[in-house]
Homo-oligomer: A and B are copies of this chain.
Amino acid sequence: MIAVAQLKTEKVDQLRAQLENEIAIKAYKEGKIPFPDGSIIVALHWTRVPSEDNDKVPAGPFPGAQSFVVGSPVNMQVMVKDSKRYAATGRWGFGDFKDGNPADEAMHKACFSCHEPAKDRDFVFTRYAPF
């Protein structure tokens, strides 16, 4: 696992986690960019919801009603590095899935432009969160 995040805007409130294959995590750990061919990064997005279960705990680290966990899955996003196949989009292929089904063409056309601000990090927003 690379990292965890929360995205909260007027429209969404999500908990997010980023996973990776061995090629990608090796590049992360070594701090090398660009990521090598074969790198795969997967982002899981869930709706953030309160947790009554956690809030029931009477003592210890959960003293109040302020624990939030994952709710409904929102979508799963994938980046696959292939410098030949995806030369036109930063050498990354992008995918967006919900309930196992790919999003439509319009959604996929937006992937790369949204990642362009992270160009100096090889179009990858997520920083590695070591433990």
Contacts and interface: CB of A to CB of B under 8 A. Distances in A.
Interface of A: 1, 3-10, 12, 15-17, 19, 44, 46, 48, 51, 53-54, 56-64, 66-70, 73, 76, 110, 113-114, 117-118, 125-127, 129-131
Nearest to A56: B117
Given A54-B125, A118-B53, A67 B3 contact: no
Given A17-B17, A53-B125, A64 B9 contact: yes
Determine chain A's interface SS by DSSP, over half rule: mixed
B63 A9 contact: yes
Contacts of A4: 4, 15-17, 44, 46, 69-70
Nearest to A19: B1
Copy total for this chain: 2
B131 A76 contact: yes
A127 B64 CA distance: 19
Contacts of A59: 113-114
Nearest to A2: B70
Given A5-B15, A69-B126, 14 more contacts: A1-B17, A1-B19, A3-B69, A3-B70, A4-B15, A4-B46, A7-B61, A7-B66, A7-B67, A9-B61, A9-B63, A12-B61, A73-B131, A76-B131
